[in-house]
Chains A and B, each alone.
Chain A
């Protein structure tokens, strides 16, 4: 089956408010076993927890109809009740048994956005989550220095500004760092011990 450019929606979903939130991509009705077809190998079932509480058997019949089709089977659950714990516990187990990936959303708008995202990124490569996002030198510098607790951006700039380079800042003696305004003893101690600490704990 060739992938259509639109999100295919099962007629069962007619009247579902989330359809009005699919705006940036086209969608059309089509007879499919799932609720939404989001790519050649990706489909989604939609479940509102409110409905699930009234008709707990519904979702299982839908899962059965899905059989073993599709590679990624998303169960898009809308959390629209307060006491969601029991239902979610059950769905977590169901997801494990029936090979469904659980995605939670809290509003129709968010649900619509998830559907758009799945369809929109059908062919996307996972580079955005695969490695560190490129940032400017200043950004990565500040991020690096502010990793130990309680060191903030101002401290970071003051530190590197006082020593000239990250290398010098890393090698600086605690007494030298202590002279910088804003760097109290605790901060200094935390910084020097962190950069000097061995990566590996040797036994």
Chain B
């Protein structure tokens, strides 16, 4: 810490509130873990802290755990602060985030000093290779401290840092208190991982925080509780019913598990599928196919739950149809192996109601009045929030008109905040077109003409969406025809003219034909297939055509189209363009800490929270309190009795509970931390190792002062094993390896596979290839099958196995094939990374130490540069999934073709030239085959 108080004086900080200043001074004086409530501006404190060091100059500080967006934000804020303080020494933030930067560049950058944000995987390698000498560091700042669990990379980094550097500072930050409260004395464990003694907790109800936010005039908040339409409520209830049934099914199938939390309460919470998934995780590779299916269903159901509130009726219908097409069971399958929710009446309600919101079929009288007994009429239900939004905007306009704003430092801007970009798009379009009406020639609508001028409506937008939907539907029928041919066969038969309105499905045996009473009434809504699952009834082609004609753009609509360049795509690049004519209303999605920036930048007088968000009201509070001269009025919209409301309330409650628990634990926590922690070598152990008394079997007497060494592939630093090896005083040498993951000795080469990797790499042939090369280059190739800590240590599925060897090859039989093909390949079974570390130590005894240089060169072609062998994993994985791409072809393509985009645009001849005729054609066809035919 070279920056003393004298140097700090000229630094200008942007921390106007009392709690921010308190926190900052606390942080300057000691190392601690700061847990701040969401929305209270954690990053602002971090950037100010960094700036104070930055401005002093001569520091080398590393920021660990920042995301890309946070990097951008910190960088900008630092530059801004530097400009304000006019400090000549500030260098701003340097980001080291991909392997693109060479080792040389990185070394030079580190030598220059300053503030660095480094990706953990790169940082750990740089620290181990002493490219970045831990002793040179002034300090480390850890963001997202809740992620620093014992086996994480961040914990590894901190251990290396503390092992070599005991004087540098270490400050950790988190604005997510919940993870600190699960498990046994979680805070104390976390503190140990972080090598910190003092937690500093800042909930919203903290005295200083409350005072600084509530001291002066508070922001004006108007809550608008908006009722859902009946159809929306029906869908929501039906989805919840499906969730309940799926949960019951899960409980029945997995009786041995702790499932007290699996109730409807948690189902309302944002991530109930994640919770269930986490509960099942220990046994994930053993649970039955059906359980996996249900967990998957829960994710889908959660998606629907959210979409009901945020999508418009037409988009929702479209989304549901896609879901159904991908999840509908193929005809002929039975209930036993399908998603149970699709068989419920509730599922019927979901699809049926969603459809009725878009257009209604016959039977409701409207059609008859229209002179078309069995036609379809667009219903186009609007989201209730739209009208309220329009109303609020009108009110604001009136307010501005009648009470002309006195100058108070804020712009007259109205800011509309909503959940995501697509909702933004929806709202923008609505606001643009709410006063556009199609010229309705239908006599039935005459009376509406009178009210035209005053009432905003989404008719125009919805009609446009419906047109797109109908067009899309035609294409989509073809898509699912070519992808899910079986399903479609059943579907098509329903539109077969011979059968008219009967909902007979193709696969049912003729004598079991189900005639549905009331013929024409069944045209709308899904009905059931022979096996009882939901199937969308196709509307007759003629009806669809009519509907399409019905919503053809009227004169007024076409006129409108030219005026406002309706294609939202054009506006995306710089969407401020869109509001040039009327920059009073800005629609923006919630964006975490960036929202603060938006508020500061726009200085809005009116804010409409279209969807609830737990952190945003606090940001407004902070914004309001930071500027005594600005007035803000907030409209807070939510659907009454909706999931949205529940979720908001539970988020607020959960955070509060978490803080209460943390405060309790902090009070009772015993502070017995040694700053050194583990990982610092005990001199006695060092001595014992040099005189290795185990000379069993006439082995060599290893009397070496050299600590054991393991060469580890750089890509392996994603796993926790290198960290644990390091913790056991093994020297971990990071290297770019072509063959194997861990080199234990000149002869022993280990390929590590988690169970998940094992399954996938056996499936796509990667493991076979890896075993082949290992066998070629090493005397003792080994496959390490590593189970997760806490996961059940067995491959055996819950379902019983038939002794039938002709059934499709399962994991066991593939393993048998592998060992038969490679008799020399040895298998290490390990129940956890901890055990693996022990086994490695055992295997290394009485063996020579591996040579990193040699290990790195193994498997490379003559003259090949090992550094050219770094690959991006996900695109590579995708490449391997393409039919026709063998391991060899993949290697070839990776070298010759830049990316998947480039590969997709190659002509068939070019691909042929690279990987040969048959495979080339396959690849080309994969990309170019049209799903429409």
Contacts and interface: CB of A to CB of B under 8 A. Distances in A.
A138 B814 CA distance: 24
B294 to A, nearest CB: 14
A203 B421 contact: no
B511 interface: no
Interface in B484-516: 484
A86 to B, nearest CB: 9
Given A131-B886, A203-B102, A137 B929 contact: yes
A155 to B, nearest CB: 9
B215 interface: no
B100 A79 contact: no
Interface stretch (B219-227, B431-439, B621-629, B836-844): B836-844
A154 B322 contact: yes
A59 interface: no
A85 B841 CA distance: 14
A188 to B, nearest CB: 9
Contact of B871 (A85, A90, A103, A199): A199
Nearest to B813: A117
Interface in A7-37: 21-24
Contacts of B569: 173, 175-176, 179
B805 interface: yes
Given A171-B904, A194-B878, A129 B843 contact: no
Interface stretch (A50-58, A61-69, A92-100): A92-100
Interface in A71-121: 71-72, 74, 79, 84-85, 88-90, 92-93, 95-96, 99-107, 109-110, 112-114, 116-118, 120-121
A126 B820 CA distance: 8
A4 interface: no
Nearest to B931: A160
Nearest to A182: B319
Interface string B823-855: 111111111000100110011000000000000
Given A103-B827, A113-B801, A198-B899, A147 B874 contact: yes
Interface residue SS majority, chain B: helix
Contact of A140 (B318, B748, B881): B881
A114 B812 CA distance: 7
A88 B284 CA distance: 23
Interface stretch (B158-166, B353-361, B553-561, B762-770): B762-770
A5 interface: no
Nearest to A86: B838
B904 A167 contact: yes
Contacts of B905: 167, 171
Contact count band on A: 35 or more
Contacts of B748: 96
B387 interface: no
B455 to A, nearest CB: 28
Given A152-B299, A164-B932, A185-B421, A124 B793 contact: no
A93 B842 contact: yes
B483 A195 contact: no
Contact of A130 (B327, B768, B804, B827): B768
Contacts of B332: none
Contact of B825 (A101, A112, A116, A170): A101
B422 interface: yes
B868 A112 contact: no
Contact of B327 (A113, A132, A153): A153
A96 B747 CA distance: 11
A72 B819 contact: yes
Given A101-B819, A164-B931, A199 B894 contact: yes
A121 B809 CA distance: 11
Contacts of B874: 147-148, 194, 197
B60 to A, nearest CB: 23
B796 A110 contact: yes
A3 to B, nearest CB: 14
B919 to A, nearest CB: 10
A131 B765 contact: yes
Given A135-B883, A182-B319, A184-B422, A121 B815 contact: no
Contacts of A138: 482-484
A105 B421 CA distance: 51
B879 interface: yes
Contact of B826 (A95, A114, A147, A197): A95
B924 to A, nearest CB: 9
A164 B482 CA distance: 11
A166 interface: yes
B867 interface: yes
A146 to B, nearest CB: 9
Residue among A22, A100, A101, A196 with max Cβ neighbours from chain B (10 Å): A101
B322 A161 contact: yes
A112 B569 CA distance: 62
Contacts of A185: 420-421, 589
Contacts of B932: 164
27 contacts: A74-B819, A88-B835, A92-B842, A106-B795, A113-B803, A117-B813, A118-B816, A126-B817, A126-B818, A128-B809, A129-B814, A129-B818, A141-B926, A143-B881, A144-B881, A152-B296, A152-B300, A157-B483, A161-B476, A165-B931, A167-B905, A182-B303, A182-B307, A196-B901, A197-B899, A198-B898, A199-B876
Interface of A: 21-24, 41-42, 71-72, 74, 79, 84-85, 88-90, 92-93, 95-96, 99-107, 109-110, 112-114, 116-118, 120-122, 124, 126, 128-135, 137-138, 140-141, 143-144, 147-148, 152-154, 156-158, 160-162, 164-167, 170-171, 173, 175-176, 178-179, 181-182, 184-185, 194-203
Given A92-B828, A194-B874, A199-B872, 12 more contacts: A72-B819, A79-B793, A88-B830, A88-B835, A101-B825, A102-B828, A120-B805, A129-B818, A157-B479, A160-B479, A161-B480, A197-B900
